[in-house]
Structure 1
């Protein structure tokens, strides 16, 4: 069954920051506002438009409620939220867990699934498994077991992608499922940006796998429900991202760009859809153009500050609306069911053989020249009776044998007479019998070819799996080769760095030895200097003592000379002039002597 993806547009109210910045409400809702939204003079139409005043319950009724019943009836379902950062995606998908008014789509789905199960037939047995993972920096990380990182995406025998090695928890109550959700949510990457205090830095995927079995009829159905909260597309200038947050933003925008490329390829009917360009698009492969009933919630900001991003989101939703999914029930057919269907097909074949047998008999009579009364013509009303007459012969692969045809052709005297009288008629019977034999041979050949086709189809599927594994192996081998080359280059660089370090160490040792030698020389020089300083100090002390002694002697000589002069003056007064002259000569001699001494 071909179905279009359902697109629901949700416009949130202005947030506090936008109100504080006096941002204008630039979105309008023309007409009844339930299916159209207007921005910049252009009208966008969707399956449903949720206005800002709508409650979380109203959103759930529109977005998710129909899918719950579909999943329990064996269909696959996907709900994912798309939009710029801070547009309300996580609030739409999760809301406030545990709050009956403000809880989002995921907790309401959990309650609804179990409420449906409790009200269904007691003969139905359900098994529910849950997986929770995120795509962070293009790596799949198990949120229920954080030790599992960079998990690979493989394909099963039906070419359906799945995450290999992901944790699957069996749950039997809503409480157990909520516990798993809380555990995974606590492990998810978030960060603070200018646009959002709790900005999701990864795409999160909650997978609920529901299997049911009818204990009376042994009929088994299984459905998978993907609940996806995409990280928001970002403009670095607005979010102020830097460092690790900037790297996260680059990877987020890259995967969202790959998602846009996939949607464009599906819309344009391209022969190649680039699902393998990112982990996100590979996981959503069944949801976009595959076997799933998909609802996309595009979340928009009404603020004029975000008008460009909102317009881009609306155009993305318009493109996604045209994608067609081929939806089928996932039924596990038992051997008994296969047998029952085989018997039905066998009965149809028997009916066909019966019709052919009667028509051939009638045709044979006409060709023999008989006139077949209208009452003897084979009609649809005689179909049931003919089936009862030939039911026992339906197990054979051929049409009724020649004796049966002979009994039909000899049912009238005229027919018998013509048979005995006309050699050409006998030749015709032989040819007819040969044709019947050829039909039988062709039937056998068709059966053999069908078996061969089935076997070849299985071989092709196995070959596809092998090719897929080979492609993945080649890709991994290339990655390993690149890593080995990178490792070798790093090893060479490390070797060069190590050699440089060794040279530096040797130079360091030499310099250290030189420094030690210089230090010893310095110590010896300091010791010598200390000795010289001590010796000089002692010499200074001796010199000081000598100076003091010299000063004392000088004073004594001065006193002695002064007293001698006084005595000579007194003697001179008593002597005559001659003596005075001699005295002057003596005085000069004394002065000369005094000059020589001092």
Structure 2
């Protein structure tokens, strides 16, 4: 290679290095591609193998040179430009050529081949084909048909490639990537086949750990990268010297794959990427030395051609001639060897000794031992076996490496598992301590829960009573369900009767239509007979015959049109009948729902009236009781005034009684306010229910009006159907009369029939429109019915709940009243005994006026009414106080009235005893 001073010579440290081309830093990507890679694309399409790879230290621009920015037209590198250029050349070549292009993309990461198009393939093996060319077994190959397909494959593979951040490069490649393009072409006319492979290699850069700052996994990656690059340097050195018999291709997976590119059948271009910085001087010198050595390697290139049958035949003849000539030479040499061996051994040895002393001109080849064909085949088989053993050993090595990796991964997993178990143990220990504290807290909570359970047991008894009431309601619902099933059976019977009636109507319409068709056929046959007679009668008159034929053809066409129209009418009539049946079913269901809703509304109105009457009665009783309570308060005030005037000794006790009375009055006022609020709430609820009932009545009236409208529409449809039947009968009668008439009468009747058919079609269209309107209105009616049904259900549930709550409250109040009565009676009996003993010891001279106090019945009524109206828990306590205060006074007052005329002193004693007991209570 000639050296040029400016660009081809590159000096570093005073030493010149000679290369084919040197690019300055401002060189564009297009210039690099045109110089380095464009010719290789043409060679690959001509059937040669090609390789382009970039070599250099890390962050020197290898990936930028090979890939660049893939989707930028100015900055894209060699690989995307080659993808575009290959298809540009293919489009400009002969039309008879057929191309098959396959691409594969893999990387060598940690000295393992990893498929970038299928990440599940992590450790692929290298094998040799029949021509002893290495290839990656099991690598994914994809067929491409455009540059876009190639770019999609590159994008997919690049996304799976290993990249890391170092101190020298933000996007440092941590693996050697190889993009392989396999092109096969065939000439359809000559059947000539060519194949070429193009290896596009982006090597990872050699790096110093002190500069890159690699640690951990990045350090392991750097070790493997430097190891594989040193193996590549050893191969280049061995090939550059040319004296070594062994080239260490098998030291690395990369050199094994690129064996054909380095010293084999391949056109190889190496791009040396050097850093111009003084900081990287040593690495730049090493890179330049690598390029200098690689430039001395010479590859022997041949076209990868698959021969045709004729070419194979010619080659066979040539080889046959060669073997024939070689056999003759071998025979001659064997004869010469025998002649030498037949001579005297002494002279033979002497001749050999003399040959050592003095050089003799050799006119023939040295006498080698001839090899037989069997020995040759044995040697070839032995060589093949040895190569096969080498491949097997490679597979075993790969398997062992995979096993070692799996074991390492398992060890890592076990370490992680151990660490996780330790963390879990610590968490469990913390949870255990926390649970112990929670357990202590839970013990206290258990005590509280036990108390709550006791309360729940009491509530359970109450709920059991409620369950019994619910069971009764369920029985009522089952009875209602039985009634509904009975009504459903009646509806099904009505439906079967309607279906029989519709079947009868269908049979009748089918008979009418069959009669009409038969009559039309008879009309056609009559017309044909008349035509035949006309031909016989007017056989001599040509003009009349032609007129008759024209008339007959017109009649036939008109009869066909009438038959078609009659068929259309039959189909439309069947559709209308089906629609009418559906409307009848919907009307019957609507009527049933309306009747059910009317019955429910009546029952609800009756129940509401009863409730209003009860409410009024309760209000009247409440008012009367309040009046009686007011009277009692007035009497109590009068009595207290008289007692204050006459008894100054008991002022303190009376003041306490007044304070107690004021408290009771305040409580009664609060009860009155609560009662008024509850009454207003009940009145609001009654007004709301009345409003809902009014709305239901309005909806019911609207449904009745819609039902009447549907019935009227149904009657109209029936009348129109009857009119249609009458018209059909008229048409049949007219057709019967037309059979005996002449041609003019038949024309008039046919015209009349056409008019009738037009009218029938108009009527049918009107019916279809009416039916569509009815279908549109039916969903609205169904929605309204559903809404009314839901409202009725809501009201029924509300009434049930009100009944149940009223029953429960009544039972509770009755039990409380009974209990209060028993307590009061027991206390009265005890107090009567006590007052009799006190009367003997005390004497007073003042006679109080008699008091009008309520009896037991009025007091129980007051208590029951107040409990029923107010629904306040503490009313029971207040009522107990009232009854305990009023009943003793009533008892003592009655005793004083009976004994007033007998003994005034004893009466005074009894009244004062009652007052003192009032104070104590």
Bucket of the pairwise TM-score, normalised by the shorter protein:
0.5 to 0.7
Query: Is 1:235 the counterpart of 2:208 in the alignment?
Result: yes
Which of 64, 73, 85 is the equivalent residue of 2:37?
A: 64
Q: CA deviation at 1:299?
A: 0.4
Which of 387, 392, 395 is the equivalent residue of 1:470?
A: 392
Corresponding position of 2:72 = 99
Relative to structure 1, the CA distance from residue 481 to residue 83 in structure 2 (aligned partners, 3 Å threshold; closer, same or farther) is closer
Query: Is 1:340 the counterpart of 2:262 in the alignment?
Result: no
Query: Is 1:86 the counterpart of 2:8 in the alignment?
Result: no
Q: CA deviation at 1:480?
A: 7.8
Provide the aligned C-alpha RMSD in A: 4.1
**Whole-Å separation in 2 of the counterparts to 1:222 and 1:39:** 41
Q: How do 1:11-30 and structure 2 match up within 5 A?
A: none
Provide the secondary structure at the position in 2 that maps to 1:325: coil
Corresponding position of 1:183 = 156
Higher mean C-alpha displacement, 330-339 vs 142-151: 330-339
Contact 2:50 2:261 in 1 (8 A): yes
Query: Is 1:295 the counterpart of 2:269 in the alignment?
Result: yes
Higher mean C-alpha displacement, 456-465 vs 182-191: 456-465
Which structure 2 segments of 5+ residues have no match?
A: 327-369, 445-921
Corresponding position of 1:165 = 138
**Whole-Å separation in 2 of the counterparts to 1:169 and 1:463:** 33
Q: CA deviation at 1:67?
A: 1.0
Corresponding position of 2:225 = 252
Q: CA deviation at 1:460?
A: 4.7
**Whole-Å separation in 1 of the counterparts to 2:285 and 2:397:** 38
Relative to structure 1, the CA distance from residue 111 to residue 469 in structure 2 (aligned partners, 3 Å threshold; closer, same or farther) is same
Q: CA deviation at 1:350?
A: 11
Query: Is 1:217 the counterpart of 2:190 in the alignment?
Result: yes
Contact 1:157 1:465 in 2 (8 A): no
Higher mean C-alpha displacement, 85-94 vs 190-199: 190-199
Q: CA deviation at 1:267?
A: 2.0
Q: CA deviation at 1:484?
A: 10
Bigger proportion of residues as helix: 2
Corresponding position of 1:47 = 20
Relative to structure 1, the CA distance from residue 351 to residue 297 in structure 2 (aligned partners, 3 Å threshold; closer, same or farther) is closer
Contact 2:263 2:300 in 1 (8 A): yes
Provide the secondary structure at the position in 2 that maps to 1:205: strand
Corresponding position of 2:252 = 278
- Normalising to structure 1: TM-score of the pair? 0.58
**Whole-Å separation in 2 of the counterparts to 1:129 and 1:492:** 43
Provide the secondary structure at the position in 2 that maps to 1:257: helix
Relative to structure 1, the CA distance from residue 260 to residue 69 in structure 2 (aligned partners, 3 Å threshold; closer, same or farther) is same
**Whole-Å separation in 2 of the counterparts to 1:490 and 1:204:** 28
**Whole-Å separation in 1 of the counterparts to 2:405 and 2:273:** 40
Which of 39, 46, 59 is the equivalent residue of 1:73?
A: 46
Query: Is 1:129 the counterpart of 2:51 in the alignment?
Result: no
**Whole-Å separation in 2 of the counterparts to 1:76 and 1:196:** 33
Q: CA deviation at 1:243?
A: 2.4
Q: How do 1:552-571 and structure 2 match up within 5 A?
A: none
User: How many residues of Structure 1 are paired with residues of Structure 2 in the alignment?
Assistant: 399
Relative to structure 1, the CA distance from residue 477 to residue 307 in structure 2 (aligned partners, 3 Å threshold; closer, same or farther) is closer
Corresponding position of 1:360 = none
Provide the secondary structure at the position in 1 that maps to 2:189: coil
Relative to structure 1, the CA distance from residue 214 to residue 460 in structure 2 (aligned partners, 3 Å threshold; closer, same or farther) is farther
Provide the secondary structure at the position in 1 that maps to 2:103: strand
Which deviations, in whole Å up to 9, do the C-alpha atoms of 1:47-74 show, x marking residues without a partner?
1111222221111122111111111111
**Whole-Å separation in 2 of the counterparts to 1:60 and 1:80:** 13
Query: Is 1:304 the counterpart of 2:278 in the alignment?
Result: yes
Which of 234, 238, 249 is the equivalent residue of 1:261?
A: 234
Q: CA deviation at 1:489?
A: 10
Q: How do 1:301-380 and structure 2 match up within 5 A?
A: 301-343=275-317
**Whole-Å separation in 2 of the counterparts to 1:156 and 1:315:** 34
Query: Is 1:148 the counterpart of 2:70 in the alignment?
Result: no
Contact 1:93 1:106 in 2 (8 A): yes
Q: CA deviation at 1:32?
A: 3.9
Which deviations, in whole Å up to 9, do the C-alpha atoms of 1:110-143 show, x marking residues without a partner?
1111111112222221111000011112121111
**Whole-Å separation in 1 of the counterparts to 2:223 and 2:322:** 60
Relative to structure 1, the CA distance from residue 76 to residue 149 in structure 2 (aligned partners, 3 Å threshold; closer, same or farther) is same
Contact 2:236 2:294 in 1 (8 A): yes
Relative to structure 1, the CA distance from residue 335 to residue 266 in structure 2 (aligned partners, 3 Å threshold; closer, same or farther) is same
**Whole-Å separation in 2 of the counterparts to 1:172 and 1:191:** 33
Greater RCO, CA 8 A, separation 6+? 1
**Whole-Å separation in 2 of the counterparts to 1:255 and 1:350:** 48
Corresponding position of 1:33 = 6
Q: CA deviation at 1:335?
A: 3.5
- Normalising to structure 2: TM-score of the pair? 0.39
Contact 1:94 1:105 in 2 (8 A): yes
Relative to structure 1, the CA distance from residue 251 to residue 449 in structure 2 (aligned partners, 3 Å threshold; closer, same or farther) is same
Contact 1:139 1:279 in 2 (8 A): yes
Which deviations, in whole Å up to 9, do the C-alpha atoms of 1:487-508 show, x marking residues without a partner?
99999999x99xx99xx99xx9
Contact 1:157 1:461 in 2 (8 A): no
**Whole-Å separation in 2 of the counterparts to 1:143 and 1:110:** 18
Contact 1:137 1:252 in 2 (8 A): yes
Corresponding position of 1:539 = none
Contact 1:80 1:227 in 2 (8 A): yes
Contact 2:123 2:398 in 1 (8 A): no
**Whole-Å separation in 2 of the counterparts to 1:251 and 1:478:** 18
Q: CA deviation at 1:218?
A: 1.7
Corresponding position of 1:197 = 170
Contact 1:258 1:278 in 2 (8 A): yes
Q: CA deviation at 1:207?
A: 0.3
Provide the secondary structure at the position in 2 that maps to 1:305: helix
Relative to structure 1, the CA distance from residue 452 to residue 113 in structure 2 (aligned partners, 3 Å threshold; closer, same or farther) is farther
Q: CA deviation at 1:46?
A: 0.8
Provide the secondary structure at the position in 1 that maps to 2:123: strand
Contact 2:104 2:181 in 1 (8 A): yes
Contact 2:87 2:147 in 1 (8 A): yes
Which deviations, in whole Å up to 9, do the C-alpha atoms of 1:174-214 show, x marking residues without a partner?
11111111111111111222211211111110000011112
Higher mean C-alpha displacement, 96-105 vs 127-136: 96-105
**Whole-Å separation in 1 of the counterparts to 2:159 and 2:395:** 34
Which deviations, in whole Å up to 9, do the C-alpha atoms of 1:134-165 show, x marking residues without a partner?
11121211111111111111222222211111
Bigger proportion of residues as strand: 1
Contact 2:235 2:249 in 1 (8 A): yes
**Whole-Å separation in 2 of the counterparts to 1:290 and 1:457:** 24
Which deviations, in whole Å up to 9, do the C-alpha atoms of 1:395-441 show, x marking residues without a partner?
xxxxxxxxxxxxxxxxxxxxxxxxxxxxxxxxxxxxxxxxxxxxxxx
Contact 1:157 1:462 in 2 (8 A): no
Corresponding position of 2:523 = none
**Whole-Å separation in 2 of the counterparts to 1:250 and 1:259:** 14
Contact 1:155 1:465 in 2 (8 A): no
Q: CA deviation at 1:81?
A: 0.2
Provide the secondary structure at the position in 1 that maps to 2:149: helix
Provide the secondary structure at the position in 2 that maps to 1:80: strand
Which deviations, in whole Å up to 9, do the C-alpha atoms of 1:296-315 show, x marking residues without a partner?
00101111122221111111
